[in-house]
C-alpha cells in the first residue's frame, strides 16, 4: 500500500588518511568525489580518561567523534566520511566549510567587538533586527541565545500583553499535541513529550498541551484566561507533521476573535527549511509572535523573537533581558546567514528538492515495504518505519549516512539547504539499503 504524505573540536595535529565506507566508496568514486583532506586527529591536550566522560550524560551520543566538515559531509576522527542528513538538527543550513560564512566570522572578529552587553547600542544587532522586520510581518525583534529561550521569551511577552488586556486571569499558554518547544519549565509545559516532562514536575503553571483539534481548541481557548497558543507550522520532534493551512487559518481567526496571541515556533522549520524564508508564508497566516533559532547564526548560538507592534507595545524596559543575546559578533554573522537563506534561487531549489524527495521516498517505500508513512516539505521529512528508528539510524550510520529520529518509529531527514541533488540521491540510496 502506498504510504500517506502531507504537504568546539579539539586542536589536532597528526594527519590520517580518509577511510571510505565500504558500502559507499564505489558510489563516491563514480560521482567523482575526492578523498577528504588529511584529518588531524591527535589532541594537543590529553586527558587520563575519555574526553566525553567529562560531559554530563544528557545525550545518548553516537559512537563516532567528528572533527571536520566539508559541504554536506562530516568526517570523523578515523577519517571516515558521513553524508549528513541531520545538519546539526537543522542548524547547519549552509553545510560545512561555507566560504562566505567563514569570511563573515573573520570580519566580525576583526572588528574587535565580540560582546558589548545590551546596555549599549551596536550596529550589528540593529542591522539584523531591521533586516528581519523588513522581511517579515514583525515590527520589533528580541534577541537571545537558543530556541528554548526564544519560546520562553515569547511566553513572557504574550503574558505581559495579555495582562494589560484582561488582567492576571488572562495568563494561560497552550500548546498542541505533537509539539516540542524546549526543555525549560514553561516551554516544557507546552511540549508533548511525557518522558521529558514527568521527571521535572511541577512545571511552570498555566502552560499545558491540548489536542491538535479545532473543536477542542475552541473549548479551551477562553478569552478570559488564555494569553497565547503556540504551534509549529511544521512539527519537528513530534514526527515532522505539516499543519494544514486551513487549520492555521481557522486558529488565526479564533485567536483574533478571542483576543489571544498566536505564536509560531519556527525554531526548526523556519529560515528556508520548507522552501520559504518563514514557514508561515506557506499558509499565508501571520502570527503575533514568531520564534527563530537553529540556523540563524550559522552554528553560533542565537535565537530571536519577532513581535507585532501590538505585542511589542506592551513591553517595558526591565520586563525581560539577556546578557549575550544579539551580541555584535553573532549578529554580524547572522546577517550574512539570513541574507543567504533568503536568496530566491536557494529557496526555489529547496522547494524543487522537496518535490523530488517526496517522489523518491514514495518510490523507496513501494520497493522496500518497511515504510508506513511519509510527511514533509522542502528539506524537512519524516518517515514512519516498522522497525525501531534507532536500528535504522544505526545501520545508516554504518553505511555512511547520518539520520535523526522524531519518535520511536519515525526517521527525520534534515539535510543542509545547500545540498546538491546528487548528494540527496546518494543519501536516499543509502537510506534504502538501511531500510531493507
Mean pLDDT in each 10-residue stretch from start to end of the chain (436 residues)? Answer: 41 36 40 44 50 86 95 97 98 98 98 95 98 98 98 98 97 97 95 92 94 96 98 96 98 98 98 98 97 98 98 97 97 98 98 98 96 98 98 98 97 98 98 97
- pLDDT of 26: 39
- pLDDT of 53: 84
In this chain, the answer to whether the domains covering 1-17+46-98+344-436 and 111-341 adopt an identical fold is no
- The full set of domain ranges for the chain reads 1-17+46-98+344-436, 111-341
Is the bond preceding residue 128 a cis peptide, omega within 30 degrees? no
Question: What would the DSSP string read from start to end of 56-101?
Answer: -S-S---S--EEEEEBTEEEETTS-EEEESSHHHHT-TT-BS-HHH
Strands 15-16 vs 39-40: parallel, antiparallel or unpaired: antiparallel
> The domain at 1-17+46-98+344-436 falls in which architecture?
Alpha-Beta Complex (3.90)
Which parts of 109-253 are beta strand (E)?
140-144, 172-176, 207-210, 226-231, 234-235, 241-242
Please say whether the beta carbons of 79 and 39 come within 8 A: yes
- pLDDT of 20: 46
The rounded distance, in Å, linking the Cα atoms of 184 and 377 is 28
CA atoms in the 13 A half-sphere facing the CB of 174: 27
- pLDDT of 175: 98
Long-range contacts of 185-189 (CB under 8 A, 24+ apart): 186/151, 186/152, 186/155, 187/148, 187/151, 187/152, 187/155
Taking alpha carbons only, the member of 74, 67, 69, 92 closest to residue 21 is 74
Reported pTM: 0.90
Instruction: Please give the grid coordinates belonging to residue 252.
Output: 488565526
The rounded distance, in Å, linking the Cα atoms of 182 and 303 is 12
Secondary element (H or E) of residue 195: helix 194-197
Residues 226, 228, 229, 235, Cα dihedral to 10°: -160
> The domain at 111-341 falls in which architecture?
3-Layer(aba) Sandwich (3.40)
Amino acid at each position: 500500500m502506498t504510504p500517506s504524505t502531507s504537504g568546539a573540536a579539539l586542536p589536532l595535529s597528526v594527519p590520517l588518511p580518509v577511510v571510505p565506507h565500504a558500502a559507499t566508496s564505489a558510489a563516491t568514486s563514480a560521482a567523482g568525489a575526492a578523498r577528504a583532506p588529511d584529518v588531524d586527529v591527535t589532541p594537543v591536550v590529553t586527558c587520563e580518561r575519555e574526553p566525553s566522560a567529562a560531559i554530563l550524560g544528557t545525550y545518548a551520543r553516537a559512537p563516532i567523534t567528528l572533527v571536520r566538515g566539508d559541504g554536506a559531509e562530516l568526517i570523523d576522527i578515523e577519517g571516515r566520511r558521513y553524508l549528513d542528513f541531520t545538519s546539526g538538527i537543522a542548524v547547519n543550513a549552509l553545510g560545512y566549510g561555507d566560504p562566505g560564512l567563514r569570511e563573515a566570522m573573520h570580519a566580525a572578529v576583526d572588528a574587535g567587538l565580540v560582546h558589548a552587553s545590551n546596555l549599549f547600542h551596536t550596529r550589528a544587532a540593529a542591522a539584523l533586527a531591521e533586516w528581519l522586520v523588513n522581511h517579515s510581518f514583525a515590527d520589533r525583534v528580541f534577541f537571545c541565545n537558543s530556541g528554548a529561550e526564544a519560546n520562553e521569551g515569547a511566553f513572557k511577552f504574550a503574558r505581559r500583553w495579555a495582562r494589560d488586556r484582561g488582567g492576571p486571569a488572562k495568563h494561560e499558554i497552550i500548546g498542541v499535541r505533537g509539539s516540542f518547544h524546549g526543555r525549560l519549565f514553561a516551554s516544557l509545559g507546552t511540549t508533548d513529550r511525557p518522558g521529558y516532562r514527568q521527571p521535572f514536575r511541577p512545571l511552570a503553571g498555566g502552560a499545558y498541551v491540548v489536542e491538535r483539534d479545532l473543536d477542542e481548541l475552541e473549548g479551551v481557548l477562553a478569552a478570559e484566561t488564555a494569553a497565547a497558543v503556540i504551534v509549529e507550522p511544521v512539527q519537528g520532534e513530534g514526527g515532522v507533521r505539516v499543519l494544514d493551512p486551513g487549520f492555521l487559518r481557522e486558529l488565526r481567526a479564533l485567536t483574533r476573535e478571542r483576543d489571544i496571541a498566536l505564536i509560531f515556533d519556527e525554531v526548526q522549520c523556519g529560515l528556508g527549511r520548507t522552501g520559504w524564508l518563514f514557514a508561515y508564508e506557506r499558509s499565508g497566516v501571520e502570527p503575533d509572535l514568531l520564534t527563530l533559532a537553529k540556523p540563524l547564526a550559522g552554528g553560533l548560538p542565537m535565537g530571536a523573537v519577532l513581535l507585532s507592534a501590538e505585542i511589542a507595545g506592551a513591553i517595558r524596559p526591565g520586563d525581560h533581558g539577556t546578557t549575550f543575546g544579539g551580541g555584535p559578533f553573532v549578529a554580524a554573522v547572522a546577517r550574512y546567514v539570513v541574507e543567504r537563506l533568503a536568496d530566491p534561487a536557494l529557496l526555489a531549489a529547496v522547494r524543487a528538492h522537496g518535490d523530488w524527495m517526496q517522489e523518491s521516498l514514495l518510490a523507496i517505500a513501494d520497493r522496500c515495504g518497511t515504510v508506513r508513512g511519509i510527511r514533509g516539505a522542502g528539506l524537512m521529512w519524516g518517515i514512519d518505519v516498522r522497525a525501531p528508528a534507532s536500528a535504522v539510524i544505526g545501520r545508516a550510520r554504518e553505511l555512511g549516512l547520518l539520520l535523526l529520529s522524531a519518535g520511536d518509529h519515525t526517521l527525520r531527514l534534515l539535510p543542509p539547504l545547500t545540498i546538491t541533488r546528487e548528494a540527496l540521491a546518494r543519501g536516499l540510496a543509502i537510506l534504502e539499503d538501511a531500510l531493507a
